[in-house]
Structure 1
Amino acid sequence: MSTDSAADELLHDILKQVSRSFYLTLNVLPLGVRDQMGLSYLFARAADTIADTDLIDRAQRLKYLNLFRAQFTTAAIDWAAVREIQTALIPHQRDSAEGILLQRLEDCLKLYEGYSAEDRERIQWLMSVLPNGMEMDLTRFPGESSGQLAALATLDELDQYTYYVAGCVGEFWTRMVCAHRPLMAAWDVAKMSAIGVRFGKGLQLTNIVKDIARDLHHGRCYVPTSLLDEAGLKPADLLEEENLPRFRPILNRLIGLAMEHLDEGWVYTMSIPVSEIRQRLACMWPILLAGETLKRVAAAPDLLSPAVNIKAPRSVVYRVMAITTLTGSNGFVATSYWDSLRKQIA
């Protein structure tokens, strides 16, 4: 990767404009992988923005998503295609950060061009897989409201979706850190990549259960109909808040599946050498905050209300960061913290 300080400054400027919270988290990563992870985040966020721009029709969004994905399959960037994406989508952005990201898409791709061939190849792989989840959203869920509600059919379909949108990131992360951090050279990349996939799936399942009501009212039910059938429920039944008691056994099953994945994520984290404390912290924080979120999801009496926004409060975020910064190098103490938290998730 280019070590040009101007390029680094440009990337960090874009990240701060698009997501200051992600930028602050990114800074905990060690040098050598920080910029690649940051730029990859921006590309993933851009793809997601294209897919979510609901002021243009789905066929157009699919067209521009595929046009963007194509920039990672050829030797040279098609700058005319990039400008076509910008012209079509920038006027329709409700979120200023999304608009800024699309405006600066050319800057991001120029930074990408300056990376090593090996890093470009890793990013190309990520961008060949991750947009499949966004394409799945656009094709599997044809509507934008609860009146056009559609659902995934099986647990296998849900598993595939969580791989596309997050599991593949765990695989990409593993490949990148093993390539750049000498102390990671002893890792079995294939084995740890598979565990990294579980890590990502756990985080995505956490997002799915916490946002279930909001997604339902946007026409998307990620809870498979095969599970709902077992409880005598239809996707539309989840629009009624009084059906939460009937839904709760299914919810608990999904929470349990998320926890199984996150347990594997913890194994992954504790396998990181102690001297790579920055990497450890970058993995500990999302796992522990996912646990805090699942704890709140499991206890929420109004989970099916679209007005509810379930997340760990800022005070908890600060507490997690403070405790792990002090104890993250001690595997026994850190694991005791995780075990204590997971026991609170009923």
Structure 2
Amino acid sequence: MKRFLLQDSTNYTDSEYQDYILQGVSRTFALTIPQLPKQLEAVVGNAYLWCRIADTIEDDPHLALALKVSFSDQLTQLLAGHGSADEWACKLLPQLDSDTAAAELDLIANSQRMLRLFLSFKPAQQAIIQQCVATMVQGMMHYQSHQPHAGLPDLPALNDYCYHVAGIVGEMLTLLYCDYCSKVRQHQDLLMPLAVSFGQGLQMTNILKDIWQDQSRGICWLPQDVFGRHHIELQDLPSQRTEVAFQQGMAELVAIAHTHLQDAMRYTLMLPRSEQGYRNFCLWAIGMAMLTLKNIHRR
């Protein structure tokens, strides 16, 4: 797979820049978002990039909590029509870790372009994206202030975290699609809870895949109650990774994530056959997550 190389994007239109930088921050979404109808492709791409910026702030290993809270709050204010994206970016960029991906830094530097695109969308679409980012940031900052070095207390806490960083995205996508398509809107009440489960399945898969990468940053998102039943203390996790008891706890979480992905399939099959692009968008995400879970289970 080719490594993404930054280019001089000065002469790109805002829309061209968004398509270009999406390839840099997520090859997966750069492939799946174009499956959506043209009327939604730019909207969903823009929404994803705002979420990615929020994630970059959350993940920075050296940015002080007070600064994370401040910059995250200012991000939500930008989407609410307050403040200057250029000024915000100029203050944020020097504070970010030197190891931050170049594409993510470039995205933040060009946040004014993203904001112009955002403001060109329908008011209803803007409101849906704004609410998603605000809820996501609120949850992220809550968990940043209670950094889980030795895991989350229990499975409900993991569910809550997954909702704030992924379930809310499922809700956002569903609301955007319901706004676009009356056939989908007819099933909105049934789709919304499945959308949350869809997001949780994807997020749990990522958490299980990235356990040791998170561990190296002093973070652990695993639930203490699940592993406690197997007599595993998460603060001693690295020394116990080969223990049968640890693998049993992992198997429980893989099974839970798999159940959420079954809900994701129910969500996808509930979409009208005429919306093949959205179905493909969902199926690709499910397929990649299922393959990842299979590999985790084999380990």
With normalisation by structure 1, the TM-score equals 0.77
Q: How far, CA to CA, are the matches of 1:165 and 1:242 in structure 2?
A: 26
Alignment pair present for 1:54 and 2:53: no
**Matching residue of 2:232:** 233
Report the alpha carbon displacement of residue 118 of structure 1 after superposing the two structures with TM: 0.8
Alignment deviations for residues 285-330 of structure 1 (CA, whole Å, 9 cap, x no partner): 1111111111110111xxxxxxxxxxxxxxxxxxxxxxxxxxxxxx
Alignment deviations for residues 132-162 of structure 1 (CA, whole Å, 9 cap, x no partner): 34213421217xxxxxx33210111110000
Contact 2:224 2:234 in 1 (8 A): yes
Uncovered stretches (5+) of structure 1, i.e. residues with no partner: 143-148, 301-346
Contact 2:254 2:293 in 1 (8 A): yes
**Residue 74 of structure 2 is aligned with which of 64, 67, 72?**
67
Alignment pair present for 1:257 and 2:256: yes
SS at 1:153 equivalent: coil
Report the alpha carbon displacement of residue 122 of structure 1 after superposing the two structures with TM: 0.6
Q: How far, CA to CA, are the matches of 1:58 and 1:150 in structure 2?
A: 18
With normalisation by structure 2, the TM-score equals 0.88
User: Which letter does structure 2 place at the counterpart of 1:272?
Assistant: L
Report the alpha carbon displacement of residue 119 of structure 1 after superposing the two structures with TM: 0.9
Contact 1:62 1:138 in 2 (8 A): no
Q: How far, CA to CA, are the matches of 1:79 and 1:275 in structure 2?
A: 39
Contact 1:55 1:92 in 2 (8 A): no
**Matching residue of 2:129:** 123
Contact 1:18 1:100 in 2 (8 A): no
Aligned residues: 288
| Bigger CA radius of gyration | 1
Q: How far, CA to CA, are the matches of 1:87 and 1:280 in structure 2?
A: 37
**Matching residue of 1:172:** 172
**Matching residue of 1:310:** none
**Matching residue of 2:114:** 108
Contact 2:198 2:260 in 1 (8 A): yes
Q: How far, CA to CA, are the matches of 1:209 and 1:21 in structure 2?
A: 18
The verdict on how the C-alpha distance between 1:92 and 1:242 changes in structure 2, with shifts beyond 3 A counting, is closer
Alignment pair present for 1:218 and 2:217: yes
The verdict on how the C-alpha distance between 1:6 and 1:161 changes in structure 2, with shifts beyond 3 A counting, is same
RMSD over equivalenced CA pairs, Å: 2.1
Report the alpha carbon displacement of residue 114 of structure 1 after superposing the two structures with TM: 1.6
Identical-pair percentage: 28
**Residue 24 of structure 1 is aligned with which of 22, 27, 31?**
31
Uncovered stretches (5+) of structure 2, i.e. residues with no partner: 1-11
Report the alpha carbon displacement of residue 245 of structure 1 after superposing the two structures with TM: 1.1
Greater RCO (CA < 8 Å, at least 6 residues apart): 2
Contact 2:202 2:289 in 1 (8 A): yes
Deviates more, 1:62-71 or 1:250-259: 62-71
**Matching residue of 1:191:** 190
